Every structure is written in C-alpha cells, then in structure tokens.
Structure 1
Amino acid sequence: MRDYSDFDSLLPAVPFNRRQFMVSAIGAGFALAVQPVVAQTVITTDSVGLSAGEIKVTTGDGEMPAYRAQPASGGNWPIILVVQEIFGVHEYIKDVCRRLAKLGYLALAPELYARQGDPRQYSNIEELLGKVVSKVPDAQVLADLDACVAWAVAHGGNAARLGITGFCWGGRITWLYAAHNPRLKAGVAWYGRIVGVPSELNPRHPLDIAGKLYAPVLGLYGGLDQGIPLDSVEKMRKALAESADPASKASTIHVYDQAPHAFHADYRPSYRKTEADDGWRRLQAWFRQHGV
C-alpha cells in the first residue's frame, strides 16, 4: 500500500507513459454535445465571498488545469473533489464547486481528459466517447485526483476532512476512488455506472470493489435511468450489505423511482428539481455525518 503519511506521496513516483497535455485551460460555457442548454433551469451561484477560478495542478508529467472554489478568507477548509460528467469541466461543474464553497469547502474539479482531448469541441456524444472518454485510463484519473488532494493540502485544505463527489462518468470514479485513497472520509456518487467489462484502461468497476472501500459512499440513482439498469444497482446494494468491510457496509444507495439519468444536471432536460434538491440535502448530511 502506498504511504500516505506525507501528502507529497500522493503524486505519482514515476510519470505515466502519456501523451503531452492537449488541454491547458478550462473554457467557458457548456460542451457542444449538450446543446441546447435548458436556460430557464440553470442554477447560477455567484462568487461573492469566495475565491474561485482556474488553477494548475502539478501531476507526474506536467500541469493539469482545474477549477477551484473556496471561501475567500480563513483556512483549514475541508476538501471535496468534484469529478466531471463525460462532458468535462464546464459551467455546471464549476457551479457545483461554488455551491460547495458557499458551504465552507475547498472544492476542486480537475480537467481529467486534459491529455486525451477537449470535450468542448465535440457536438456528437458518440464521437466524444470514442475519441476522448474511452482513451482515459482509470489509473491516470486516480493519480490525478491524488495530485489534486496534494494541491489542496498545500493551499489551505484540511487533509483530515477529505470527500469526493462525481456525476455520471464521475459517479463511477467516485466509487473507485473510495477504494483507492485510505485518507478519504466519504464519497457521494451521482448515477455512476456500476458494472462493465474489464479492460486494460478500466480493469475494475464499482461492483468489483464493493467490499474493499476505504470510505463510505452514498449512491444516488434514478429509477428511470435507461443507461444504468436497476438490477446492477441492486447487485451493488447487496454486495455492500454483505461485505465484512466497515466502510462498505456503512455505504448506502438511494434510488429516486421517477428520476431519469442526470437528474441533478440543471442545464439539461433530464433535470428533476425535487430529486436534485433532495440529493443535495443528502450529500450535505452525508459529508457532515462522516466528518468532511
């Protein structure tokens, strides 16, 4: 097991054999693949009382862009990693960071596809999946999240109060990170895929690590999600309950029976305000309960 007593050890000891960073900055707006945006439901959180904007996170092979939001004053803030949907770090993900910062967190959303390509330039989801998302190794993502924790700790974050939340693609990563970092206190996974075929880049999926979590995870899923079958959600629930691992057994899954996939994404037609608001309340309570 990697030594986490010094947060410098969160950075990869040996650089991955990766391509050069293709994306060096986070753009404004939403990805082309999710246009048109349902403007009347978009939630906009201001930056009053916050320090928010793009930063650079040092990784084992360069600098990765990320969006950071935190209270403008004070320090020793609890840290929450925010993991993007398949569409990258756009305005919705930035706003989630600001919402968390308003609650007193240092929230950090890295552009995890920075080496593979820019999701903002693709107007077709299938093309985005094929040319960018499918080429992102889980090992790279987990190492980049470790680097984000190291950055946060070096900039006023509290290493003892670390959480993670992610949406869709990031929901799956949330489960994986809970089995990766022993210093994590809690995670909240929004409709993340649970099962899949193992591959070189994606060797394990959430169901594979259900009994090996370092931190308890709250899973939030939609009963009408056509991409995540309810039987896979129930398999995960059963695996967690039957595990002898304390963090796994403490994890829980809540299903909103009438919600589709991406019910928290307020810029999309899938948004369901009632379920999104309830999920957000559950997220806050979960992090408080587990010391984040």
Structure 2
Amino acid sequence: MTLLEDESGAEFDSLLPRVGFTRRDFLVGSIVAGFALATQPVMAQTAIDTPADGLVTGIEPLVGADRQAVPAYYARPEGKGPFPVVLVASEIFGVHHYIQDVCRRLARQGYFAIAPDLFVRQGDPTKISNVQLILDSIVAKVPDAQVLGDLDAAVKFATTHGGDAKRLYMTGFCWGGRVTWLYAAHNPKLRAAVAWYGKLEGAPSALNPKQPVDLAPNLTVPVLGLYGGKDQGIPLDDVEDMKGLLKKGSSGSEIIVFPEAGHAFHADYRPSYRQAEAEEGWKRLLDWFARHGSGRG
C-alpha cells in the first residue's frame, strides 16, 4: 500500500535524470529489499525482521531543495493519524533492510518513520562490497547542506501524508548519528533526537564545515547520544568533550556510554551487535521521545 497517488508523482517524473529511467526503476534501484553488500555475511541468528502487517509501508519520491529526486522508505500505522514523525538517518550503507526495519519498529510504536536515501546523488552504497570504497567514492562527497535539505524534504512529505508537524523527532546511526546532531542544530522544530555512535569531532571542510562539537553549546533541541565505551572510531575523550560542551548549553541533551560496547552495537545483523546494550538503547530512545511529548497512543 502506498501513500502517493496524486500530482506529486508527476512532479517526480519530471525530475528523473535520464530518458527511459522510470519512476519504479529509480525507487526500487535506490533502496534495496535486502542487506547492503558491504555488510555480508549477515548474522542471521540475530538480525531482526519486523513484520509489516498492520502498517502502511513503501518507497516514495521526495523532491529535494535542489529539485533533485530523492527516494525514501517510510512506515507508519494504518489509519488517518496524524502520527508523530521520526526522521531516520542511515549508516554509510544506505537505506537497506536494517534501516527499513528500524522504521517498521518505530511504526509499531505509533510513529510515522521515514528514511530518505541521503546518498542518491553521489552513488548507491548498497551495491558496493568494499567499505573503504563507499567512504571514498560516496560518503566523502556528500555535502552536509544537501543532507539537511533532503531531511527537510522528508519532513514536508511526512507531514503532508499523515504525519504531525508539531511532533517531530529524529534518530540516526553511525554516519547518521553525526547527521542527527547536525539536523538538531539545523531544525529547532524537532522535539527531540537520538544519535547512535555518531562522529563528534573532525577537521572542517567545504562539504562538512561544522561538527557536532561546534554546535553543541547552542543546541536548543534535546539530543540523547548513545555511545560505546570500546568504540575504536570515536575516542572517549571526544565523548567527554561533547558532554562538557552540552553542559554549557540549555538544550537538556545527554550522553550515555555503554562501557563494554563497541561501534555499531545496535546493528543486529553485524558481529558488533550487543543485544543487551541495543535493547537498553532502544528503550532509552522510546523513553526520550515520550519524555519530550511524542503523544504516542
């Protein structure tokens, strides 16, 4: 069942990048049904598969601020709503099965969850089996301004198709965790956000002019950061720096560190998954949203 059966589809068709590239080809080709190649082999014994019965799910086109076509996966409860909206920002692997499943998990909690393909202009990470190639050929070329604009487009879509513009939230994982901090600074209309093990510090560049540590003191949106004490890519010193900067502001943001967890501890399809910490982090996410007025059922 899909949501978009109106003139928006015609508008999207006019944005397709080449003749003969159909709307269906674009949408199906950009968001895969399975897991990204670079994440193989999948840990089938722990990978979660949330059923879609009782939900409205699908892949629909957004129109980015630069008038480019951006596919997005969404999941929400059946019914008219309006439902609180959660933006979901993916890891470097794109909107593959795991991110889609996160959307369905949120939908089962009463949310309209939407995950746009934030890499669509630069390439398709789901089809690349080499992590370093994904980082070099796609991720390194994605401007933060483009990402923020596409998330704005996702908000517009969700809030005109059953989502509640006054109850807006966000979460993101790894690369998407950093994006969550950035979007919380960009859009003060967010009620709350949860960033999972997102990078906090780094050298500024033309594409990435600000890092979360640069934005922390002036945040107004309450962000919950979930980090692993044994994360080899995010030093605990960076996490402590971020905690100190957040205390200087008035957003009410917090950071929780799980001492025995490494990076990607929520990724249930990978060897890095830690069930206890993942479940505790998810509970904290739901509590954080509820504390900040999600208005769920």
TM-score w.r.t. the length of structure 2 is 0.89
Most deviating of 30-39 and 107-116 = 30-39
The answer to whether structure 1 residue 45 and structure 2 residue 50 are counterparts is yes
Residue 269 of structure 2: aligned partner = 267
Residue 99 of structure 1: aligned partner = 105
Corresponding letter in the other structure for 2:33: A
Residues 50-89 of structure 1 aligned to structure 2 (within 5 Å): 50-60=55-65, 61-89=67-95
Distance 1:217 1:20 in 2: 37
Residue 214 of structure 2: aligned partner = 208
Residue 289 of structure 1: aligned partner = 291
The count of corresponding residues between Structure 1 and Structure 2 is 270
Residue 62 (structure 1) shift = 2.6
Residue 13 of structure 1: aligned partner = none
Residues 19-30 of structure 1 aligned to structure 2 (within 5 Å): 24-25=26-27, 26-30=31-35
Deviations 1:8-36 (A, max 9, x none): xxxxxxxxxxx959993212211111111
Give 4+ residue runs of structure 1 displaced > 6 Å after superposition.
none
Residue 182 (structure 1) shift = 1.7
Out of 224, 232, 244, the residue aligned to residue 226 of structure 1 is 232
The answer to whether structure 1 residue 145 and structure 2 residue 147 are counterparts is no
Corresponding letter in the other structure for 2:188: P
Residue 199 of structure 2: aligned partner = 193
Corresponding letter in the other structure for 1:48: D
Note the residue ranges of structure 2 that are not aligned, 5 or more in a row.
Answer: 1-15
Corresponding letter in the other structure for 1:35: Q
Distance 2:139 2:17 in 1: 16
Residue 3 of structure 1: aligned partner = none
Residue 265 (structure 1) shift = 0.2
Note the residue ranges of structure 1 that are not aligned, 5 or more in a row.
Answer: 1-18
TM-score w.r.t. the length of structure 1 is 0.90
Out of 272, 278, 281, the residue aligned to residue 279 of structure 1 is 281
Distance 1:160 1:173 in 2: 21
CA contact (8 A) 1:20 1:115 kept: no
Deviations 1:96-141 (A, max 9, x none): 0000000000000000000000001211111110000100000000
Residue 256 of structure 2: aligned partner = 254
Distance 1:252 1:216 in 2: 8
Residue 161 of structure 1: aligned partner = 167
Most deviating of 189-198 and 49-58 = 49-58
Deviations 1:230-279 (A, max 9, x none): 00000000000122xx21xx000000000010000000000000000000
CA contact (8 A) 1:78 1:157 kept: yes
Distance 1:132 1:214 in 2: 31
